[in-house]
Amino acid sequence: MPEPPEEAYGRVTNPERYEAVQAAAASLIRELVASFDVEVLRGLDADPVFVQRWSNIVPGSVVRLVPRARNAAAVTFAFTTLPGVILRIGQWRIATYPRCGCDACDEHPDEVIEQLRNDIDAVTAGGLAEAWDGTRLHVSTAYSDGSTSRGWSLVEVDQHLYGDPAEHTWGPWVGVQS
């Protein structure tokens, strides 16, 4: 496959295609609230440190789901002006949907939605582990199909937010009582 032209990087000619990602995220939030025992926090105060990091969050779009299950990872959803979705998952993991959105990356909305759902399914099943070693953030995600994703990152701007080295192996969310 040929490389995209240089001008395609940083250019987004059809951002509306990602409105479907926001619609899927809104639907997913409703599903999670209906299915799991979570506290729902809304607004910029729901996760202020996370929200301060991003300048493109749509006001009023932030929703934080805090599971009542012991040791289960919270998830913050924030809708962006791209349009897209940014998640804070667990203590430190940040994920964006789409990852980029530029014409060169050309992420297909259906694939972005599938990745969003897979990531949330992994979190609700207890498949997320994070470790901050003081230098790098290590994240491991176990998916329902048996695959895993492991990686590390260091976002210098966020390093001061991580605090002392720590590890989290998050447990599963608990369903609502009928």
**Run of H or E including 78:** strand 75-80
pLDDT digits (tens, 9 = 90+) for 152-177: 776 666 677 788 889 999 999 999 87
Strands 75-80 and 38-42: unpaired
Is residue 148 one of the residues assigned to a domain? yes
Number of domains in the chain: 1
3-class DSSP assignment, residue 48: helix
Q: Which of 16, 26, 53 is nearest to 120 (CA)?
A: 26
Is residue 66 one of the residues assigned to a domain? yes
Q: 């207890």: which residue's tokens?
A: 126
Is residue 56 one of the residues assigned to a domain? yes
DSSP label at residue 57: B
Stated pTM of the model = 0.90
Average confidence (pLDDT) over 62-68: 98
Is residue 1 one of the residues assigned to a domain? no
Is residue 77 one of the residues assigned to a domain? yes
Is residue 2 one of the residues assigned to a domain? no
Cis preceding-peptide flag for 165 (omega within 30 of 0):
no
Joined tokens for residue 115: 């990745």
Is residue 176 one of the residues assigned to a domain? no
> Which domain, by its residues, includes 116?
7-169
Average confidence (pLDDT) over 55-82: 95
Is residue 174 one of the residues assigned to a domain? no
pLDDT digits (tens, 9 = 90+) for 98-141: 988 766 677 899 999 999 999 999 999 999 999 998 888 899 99
